[in-house]
Copies of this chain bind each other. A is one copy, B any other.
Amino acid sequence: MINVGIVGGTGYTGVELLRLLAQHPHARVRAVSSRTEAGTPVADYFPSLRGVVDVEFRAPDDADLGGCDVVFYATPNGTAMEGVRPLLDNGVKVIDLSADFRIKDVALWSDWYNMEHSSPDLVAEAVYGLPEINRDAIAKARLIANPGCYPTAVTLGFLPLVEGGHVDASKLIADTKSGVSGAGRKSSTKLLYAESSDSLVAYNVSGHRHRPEISQTLSLAAGGDVGLTFVPHLTPMIRGIHATLYADLTDPSIDVQKLFESRYEAEPFVDVMPTGSHPDTRSVRGANTCRIACHRPGDGNTVVILAVEDNLVKGAAGQAIQNMNIMCGFDESAGLAVVPLVP
């Protein structure tokens, strides 16, 4: 049984880590930090955790994170890069759910996140925590950059096509739809129920932070630059990402279905559905699964990939625990056998 700490436990990825870790056979939550809620029992703050979690929030300096085996950062961007070094030096494994260590090009990161990076060397060291491409490196890492929610779904959806050069990688289109929890637990009027329900809107069409993250991974997979048009939409659901991906086949004779089935055959958390399927985000609600379906309308050259995930699980906290399992040598699925909540 390892001891786990969570830095920034009052947001949605924080409470999701707590939900999932409560059922983990080999890990227990020892410390949860929060500047604003120090001293409050976690279960008072999140009544859903009454009888489940019995620790209280501690101030970051008071939380004895250094005594943990693994620490998750579930903080706003810019926090982890300031705090992880002493933990790493102490032998603590760190999994950062923010964007601080995701983009290798530090200047590019600074452009998109509007701040200087304080720990470029750790960016270089950090392993991008997408097990489907980096499992071995994750196993050996001490610092994980847990992927963003959109990047997980979009990358897994494009990956088999791009790796083999089966599509024109200069013309990828990712039309993505996210539930509102993806925006975090922010008091923003556009995230109010009265505004975001019964409505749908695209945002950041001119540029979104997740585009460089996706491009970085796909470029590595493609062995060269990719051209990606990425359009995110805010949709009236709590959880869920639906990525609808468009690409042009370079070799029309390829069997796309087989390509995907073969690529993900051994993956415990990627489910390639039968040809013609339409996965709904509901079918993965609460679970660590990315479900994918392949289409080729009119048997033309355009392939349409549908990929769904729960943005808080495979798109955040679940994937983080999957990474922890790999890092700690546990069964990769330990604590992640949560069945989706339907209806």
Residues of chain A at the chain B interface (Cβ within 8 Å): 12, 15, 19, 22-23, 46-52, 173, 175, 177, 179-181, 185-189, 191-203, 205-207, 227, 229-231, 233, 235-240, 242, 244, 246, 271, 273, 276-287, 289, 291, 295, 297-298, 300, 302, 304, 306, 308, 312, 337, 339-343
Contacts and interface: CB of A to CB of B under 8 A. Distances in A.
Contact of A194 (B46, B191, B242, B273): B191
A279 to B, nearest CB: 7
A51 B340 CA distance: 11
A282 B199 contact: yes
Given A229-B246, A239-B343, A297 B198 contact: no
20 contacts: A12-B343, A19-B339, A47-B280, A47-B283, A50-B273, A193-B197, A197-B237, A198-B237, A199-B285, A200-B281, A201-B278, A201-B282, A202-B242, A205-B304, A205-B306, A206-B276, A229-B300, A246-B246, A285-B341, A341-B341
Q: Taking each of A203, A229, A271, A281, which has the highest tally of chain B beta carbons within 10 Å of its own beta carbon?
A: A229
A186 to B, nearest CB: 8
Contacts of A175: 175, 244, 246
A19 B206 CA distance: 31
